Amino acid sequence: GIQVEQSPPDLILQEGANSTLRCNFSDSVNNLQWFHQNPWGQLINLFYIPSGTKQNGRLSATTVATERYSLLYISSSQTTDSGVYFCAVLRVGEKLTFGTGTRLTIIP
Amino acid sequence: DAGVIQSPRHEVTEMGQEVTLRCKPISGHNSLFWYRQTMMRGLELLIYFNNNVPIDDSGMPEDRFSAKMPNASFSTLKIQPSEPRDSAVYFCASSPGTGSIIRDEQYFGPGTRLTVT
């Protein structure tokens, strides 16, 4: 099946800093999505982004499908951005596959 | 709206017992998803329904697991008999869309933490 790798596994930043999280996948995919899991375990959809760029407030995401990666950008980080960020990919005929996540900690 | 409701929030049971997890999706949503999260395996999609019909259950780990959606406002995930390796957080999510498991925005419940001793 398709392999999904996220980097870095852990990231600690000062409040106000910018960050870039990466998701690499081993084969072409039909769909890709980013999720955030806060420190209390709640999961939230961030973006559906099989290709191109999307922005939502301080967050934006870019997927370059031909090069098999996606990037999640967080600008002006806030403590509420802390948690684990997952990407998930779907290739037709295969299972939805999640990456192992990037744990982001924003220090006040 | 109250969001996706899951019950119980915590369940501790002994190996061999039957466990039933419950989910009430957001009213008007026509797709429902069950996920499992463990330290070892991460997040996994177990099964999803569209208009109460199971669309893909390929993620269900084995025959001990079964899921039903008898109506648009209720779903259950049952494990019988339970085993210690079933210990995990089980999430239910719903979406208003067509059943595309990744195109439609999903709204997650708070999860049920299951411990099988």
Q: What is the 3-state secondary structure (H, E, C) of chain B?
A: CCCCEEECCEEEECCCCCEEEEEECCCCCCEEEEEEEECCCEEEEEEEEECCEEEECCCCCCCCEEEEEEECCEEEEEECCCCHHHCEEEEEEEECCCCCCCCCCCEECCCEEEEEC
Alpha carbon distance B65, B45 (integer Å): 13
**What's the rounded Cα separation, in Å, for the pair B70 and B100?**
20
Q: Is the confidence at residue B99, as pLDDT, over 80?
A: no
Minimum-distance CB partner of A44 among B45, B89, B108? B108
Confidence of residue A95 (pLDDT cuts 50, 70, 90): confident
Q: Which of the residue ranges A17-21, A27-31, B21-25, B66-70 would you say has the lowest mean pLDDT?
A: A27-31
Q: Does A51 touch chain B (CB under 8 A)?
A: no
Identify which of A42, A90, A98 has the shortest CB distance to residue B43: A98
| Mutation choice for B interface testing from A23, A96, A98, A102 by most B CBs within 10 A | A96
**CB pair distance less than 8 Å for A101 and B108:** no
From chain A, the residues in CB contact with B90 under 8 A are none
User: What pLDDT is stored for residue B105 in this prediction?
Assistant: 82
Torsion of CA B101, B102, B108, B112, to 10 degrees: 60
Residue among B43, B89, B105 minimizing CB distance to A86:
B43
In this predicted structure, the answer to whether residue B100 has a pLDDT above a threshold of 90 is no
pLDDT exceeding 70 applies to what percent of chain B? 94
Determine the pLDDT at residue B97.
75
The model's confidence at residue A93, banded by pLDDT at 50, 70 and 90, is confident
